[in-house]
Amino acid sequence: MEAKHDVLVVGAGCAGMRAAIEAFDAGADVALISKIHPVRSHSGAAEGGINAALGNASDDNPEKHAFDTVKGSDYLGDQDAIEVLCDEAPGDVYELEHWGCVFSRTPDGRIAQRPFGAAGEPRTAYAADITGHVLVHVLYEQVMKRDIRTYEEYFAWKLVESDGRCQGVICWDILNGGLKTIGAKTVILATGGAGRLYTGTTNAYSCTGDGMAMALRVGVPLKDMEMMQFHPTTLSPSGVLITEGCRGEGAYLLNADGERFLERYAPNAMELASRDVISRAEQTEIDEGRGIDGDVLLDLRHLGAERILEALHGTRELSMTFAGVDPIQDPIPVRPGAHYHMGGVDTDLWGKTTLDGLYAAGECACVSAHGANRLGGNALMETITYGRRAGQAAAEWALSHTTVAVPESTVSDAERDLAALLGREEGERPWAIRDEMAQTMHENFGVFRREHQMEAQGKIIGGLRERYEKVVVDDKGMIFNNDVTQALELGFLLELAACMVVAGLARKESRGAHSRPYDYPSRDDESFMKHTMVTWAGGTPKLDWAPVRVTKWEPQERKY
């Protein structure tokens, strides 16, 4: 064992850093592990904002926020988790402000709030269109202030499970090479999403579902894994995110005929309908021949240069750089792309998983604040509120337990597995498997899902997993060998893909992001208002169900 800590946080984006700060302030010896430097985390790419019922732009309250979120979740969200989120959000946002977060302001100096999709009030606090960026930096500032130990460029690979507890993490040291074991009384997973399962994704190369897969491998269930959100406005062709803030500011979505087609899908909310609704509308337009080379258009021109430069400066920069389009003069070509995993490691309201000593927060977790469809602006809020709660709970647990033990065999098993991968000389390199996985997931497990395509995808993933067992890596060196870490990431992704397909096939209804218009076009509350729960058994996913926790909102028909 290289070192040990009370609380070890894996992943240093918004959720991870917020958890570490809270655990530190609770008196625990805390450390962060991250495969990239904390400020490189993909939380920083969040653009539009963070939802809290501050009431700065209208008469708002946490109950309205909670109802919008429950409805947005297509009644799959756990309502107690949603109430906690919405009640605690304002305090958490004020705290970020006092830490120095550079929020955009109202003329009278309060935190500005803008309208966002499926929100009844203008509730999204923001910093122009770089909200995630300013949050990551303010959190890292607080990490530096506390001098919290950070294992930078450590790739977490396996959880240490011993004596029915999670007691540490085995990592590959990217800068120096070699496996390093960090012991811990509690481990908090905060590794983010797995968008790299898809070709068209807003997600960074780092978003490979590491934490979800590590939890799965120690027997912790993953919840609602079929629920992958497709964001309606990803830039064509690269998949880079164009913020929902554009539509919050008043942008239009147009088809090839120049028609605001949402009139036919969401006549009341129009461009501010829920993300699943808009992605389906766009995909339908494109499938029925009213797209432009597989895209629709996001038109900002009527907002005027001044507002675009002030509130959507980053969007303009992205659009000019990656699509050669200046949104002041031309509409932006966009399409739906994989964006956010509502599913993840099953946790309770304090981030605790079914394994003692293991916690999870942020996108890699599923406390189920988002159910079948997340509202824009709720992800950043979840990272902060549930990151804080996980940090507090993990610290409390750690401070009441004393021992950390890592069995020799766990370390030697890992050493052996890695030696097998590095020692293999003949065979296929991982990239073709990665590309085939991402391409087929897009085709067979995308915005619309068909039974036979999902079944085919299950077989494809099975075949890819067999090929993966025999992959070779070119780089055998010790220093900055990301050839080996990228191979390990692919292993994580393939297992998650298998879980998603199993859960998707089992959910024989259309709810939120899981849309089956050809065989089960409507929501079936009687049979399926419940969570899918996938565990890993004997090398394959095993499906189970768990009830949705309802507090006060009975399911209604969902219209925008």
Q: Assess 294 for contact with other proteins (CB under 8 A).
A: no
Quick one: which of 1, 3, 45, 505 contacts other proteins (CB under 8 A)? 45
The owner of tokens 């797995």 is 194
Q: Assess 553 for contact with other proteins (CB under 8 A).
A: no
Q: Assess 407 for contact with other proteins (CB under 8 A).
A: no
Report the first-to-last Cα separation within the chain, whole angstroms: 55
In 3D, which of 351, 300, 403 has the Cα closest to residue 16? 351
Question: Any idea which residues carry the catalytic annotation?
Answer: 275
* Separation of alpha carbons 62 and 222, rounded Å: 28
Q: Which DSSP symbol is given to 262? A: G
Q: Assess 39 for contact with other proteins (CB under 8 A).
A: yes
The beta-strand segments (E) located in 190-285 are 222-223, 228-235, 252-254
Q: Assess 256 for contact with other proteins (CB under 8 A).
A: no
- Lay out the site mask for other proteins across 352-391 (x = CB under 8 A, - = otherwise): ----------------------------------------
The beta-strand segments (E) located in 11-70 are 30-34, 50-51
Side chain identity at residue 143, one-letter code? V
Quick one: which of 17, 169, 197, 204 contacts other proteins (CB under 8 A)? 204
- Residues 6 or more apart in contact with residue 112 via CB below 8 angstroms: 56, 57, 103, 104, 105, 106, 125, 126
Q: Assess 273 for contact with other proteins (CB under 8 A).
A: no
* Separation of alpha carbons 54 and 50, rounded Å: 11
* Separation of alpha carbons 86 and 104, rounded Å: 21
Say if residue 333 is preceded by a cis peptide, omega within 30 of 0: no
Candidates 90-98, 245-253, 341-349, 376-384 — which segment interacts with other proteins by CB under 8 A? Answer: 90-98
H or E, element range at 23:
helix 14-25
Quick one: which of 478, 505, 506, 546 contacts other proteins (CB under 8 A)? 478
CB count in 10 Å sphere of residue 62: 19
Quick one: which of 173, 436, 443, 483 contacts other proteins (CB under 8 A)? 483
The beta-strand segments (E) located in 218-325 are 222-223, 228-235, 252-254, 296-299
Quick one: which of 264, 287, 431, 452 contacts other proteins (CB under 8 A)? 431
Candidates 106-114, 349-357, 369-377, 507-515 — which segment interacts with other proteins by CB under 8 A? Answer: 106-114
Candidates 201-209, 261-269, 358-366, 376-384 — which segment interacts with other proteins by CB under 8 A? Answer: 201-209
C-alpha angle 275-280-283 in degrees, rounded to nearest 5: 125
Residue among 142 and 453 whose Cβ is closer to other proteins: 142
Shortest spacing between CB 45 and other proteins, in angstroms: 5
Residue 144: strand, helix, or coil: helix
* Separation of alpha carbons 239 and 63, rounded Å: 34
CA distance readout (Å), 353 to 384, 471, 544, 546: 18, 32, 16, 14
| Structural tokens at position 479 | 């220093």
Residue among 90 and 371 whose Cβ is closer to other proteins: 90
Residue among 459 and 470 whose Cβ is closer to other proteins: 470
Q: Assess 405 for contact with other proteins (CB under 8 A).
A: no
- What residues between 308 and 337 interact with other proteins by CB under 8 A? 309-310, 314, 317-318, 321-322, 326, 328-329
Candidates 203-211, 285-293, 459-467, 498-506 — which segment interacts with other proteins by CB under 8 A? Answer: 203-211
- Lay out the site mask for other proteins across 111-130 (x = CB under 8 A, - = otherwise): x---------------x--x
The owner of tokens 């966002």 is 116
Q: Assess 100 for contact with other proteins (CB under 8 A).
A: yes
Shortest spacing between CB 203 and other proteins, in angstroms: 9
Quick one: which of 9, 33, 36, 300 contacts other proteins (CB under 8 A)? 36
* Count of residues that interact with other proteins, criterion CB under 8 A: 69
Give the binding site for other proteins (CB under 8 A): 36-37, 39-42, 44-45, 54, 93-95, 97-100, 102-111, 127, 130, 132-134, 137-138, 141-142, 144-145, 175, 204-206, 237-238, 240-241, 305-306, 309-310, 314, 317-318, 321-322, 326, 328-329, 429, 431, 473-475, 477-483
